[in-house]
Amino acid sequence: MANMAQSIRMALHYGEKHLDVKDVFGQDVGAPMGGVFTATQGLETSWNTPLDERGIVGTAMGIAMTGDICVAEIQFCDYIFNTIDLLKIAGNTNWVTNGNVSLPLVLMTPVGAGIRGSVYHSHSFDAIASRLPGWKVVMPSNPLDAYGLMLSAIKDPNPVMFLKPKALMRVRGEELIPGEPANEKELKAMIDQPVGGSAGWKAKWPNLEEHLVEIGKGKITRQGSAATVVTYGRHVLMCNQVADDLKKEKGIELEVIDLRSIYPYDWELIKTSIKKTGRVIFVNEDTEVTNFAEHLSYRVTQELFYELMARPKVLAGKNLPGIGLHANLEEASVPQVPEIKEEVISLLQEIP
């Protein structure tokens, strides 16, 4: 079973082979490294850029303007902040040109904490990304979805931001990517660059097939009727665990929704679930003040107010300037399993 780094790599290979991707680029994206998380190893179209994030985003926009298809990377989303005005322009180009000019590009970047990445390898970007109208924003929680979302992102005529939960890059999925060999070791031997380096090495790609995850469509990962938990990225795994624990310990069944797309988002899925449960908590790790979940929560109060049995909750990262390196600090800064569980229990206990 592929891990997420391998699945992204396979999606990019599928992209360059079948979807006309002409460039995959960013810092240390090409040989010899193939990306700091190895997600671009062995690709034919990958190359290394100067250490210049604005150059990377600008280049992607220019390539897209010509109609060529590219996937660009910002090495860590912590370093994307000096490109914000270019991201604004990428988002508003189709709109401001009256539909004359569109920018079909994919920008991928690792996000989130969970690897003891300290202040500058732990930022999240989903809340800010949701404030860049004109972009589509996706964030997978497992390798198969990463593959399917990447192919959809490449095919989409709009700028798409592909947020990679960095703590999940080595996590394996439960479902095979179509064409992927069932044996993990076999896959590794085919597409993982040998430790010695990239010289003389070529990936042997499996015969991959198209698999699309529609942008804007979420997924129910645990079914239940006690309360709805809406999340994405690595917090899907944590929320699933909370659901499993509560089921085992108390027989309580939560409904967990993996949003997968942050914008546009699957309102129908959220709405249907909340109508069933009457209780909802939104969980993510970006900072809590003007968090994207606050928009969802607001919408819930406007459209589902009289169906609610409890106040909607948002559990997100503390509104801090950064995430400290020591485990005590990191764990106190972004939601962890025990805190999610506690919040869910208090949501369940609320009497309307």
Ligand X SMILES: Cc1ncc(C[n+]2csc(CCOP(=O)(O)OP(=O)(O)O)c2C)c(N)n1
What residues are labeled active site? 121
3-state SS, residue 300: helix
Structure tokens at 106: 């994919």
Q: 178 or 324, CB closer to another protein?
A: 324
**319 interacts with another protein by CB under 8 A:** yes
Strand residue runs (E) in the chain: 21-26, 46-48, 69-73, 105-111, 136-138, 160-165, 219-222, 227-231, 254-258, 261-263, 280-287, 313-317
**326 interacts with another protein by CB under 8 A:** yes
Q: Smallest distance, Å, CB 75 to ligand X?
A: 5
Q: Smallest distance, Å, CB 36 to ligand X?
A: 8
Please state whether beta strands 313-317 and 261-263 pair in parallel, antiparallel, or not at all (unpaired): unpaired
3-state SS, residue 130: coil
Q: Smallest distance, Å, CB 43 to ligand X?
A: 19
Round to whole Å and give the CA distance between 336 and 78: 21
**40 interacts with ligand X by CB under 6 A:** no
Map the footprint of ligand X across residues 45-84, applying CB under 6 A. 51, 53, 75, 79
Stretch that binds another protein, among 118-126, 141-149, 151-159, 294-302 (CB under 8 A): 118-126
Map the footprint of ligand X across residues 117-176, applying CB under 6 A. none
**3 interacts with ligand X by CB under 6 A:** no
One character per residue 6-35, x = contact with another protein (rule: CB under 8 A): ---------------------xx-x-xx--
CB count in 10 Å sphere of residue 57: 24
Structure tokens at 244: 């499993």
Structure tokens at 32: 């010899």
**55 interacts with another protein by CB under 8 A:** yes
**101 interacts with ligand X by CB under 6 A:** no
**267 interacts with ligand X by CB under 6 A:** no
Residue type at position 85:
D
Please pick, from the candidates 67, 200, 251, 321, the single residue that binds another protein as defined by CB under 8 A.
321
Q: 51 or 96, CB closer to another protein?
A: 51
Residues 6 or more apart whose Cβ sits within 8 Å of residue 249: none
Q: Smallest distance, Å, CB 225 to another protein?
A: 32
Q: Choose among ligand X, another protein, none what residue 175 binds, the Cβ cut-off being 5 to 8 Å by kind.
A: none
Q: Choose among another protein, ligand X, none what residue 189 binds, the Cβ cut-off being 5 to 8 Å by kind.
A: none
Stretch that binds another protein, among 5-13, 62-70, 112-120, 140-148 (CB under 8 A): 112-120
Please pick, from the candidates 51, 96, 101, 189, the single residue that binds another protein as defined by CB under 8 A.
51
Structure tokens at 24: 């995959």
Residue 173 backbone dihedrals phi, psi, to 5 degrees: -95, -170
In this structure, the dihedral spanned by the alpha carbons of residues 57, 35, 219 and 281, taken in order and rounded to 10 degrees, is -80
Looking at the chain, list the stretches that DSSP marks H as alpha helix, in order from N- to C-terminal side: 4-18, 53-65, 84-96, 126-129, 143-155, 184-191, 234-250, 267-277, 292-303, 327-333, 337-349
Residue type at position 118:
S
Which spans of this chain sit near another protein (rule: CB under 8 A)?
27-28, 30, 32-33, 36, 48-55, 78-79, 81-82, 116, 118-121, 289, 318-322, 324-326, 328-329, 331-333
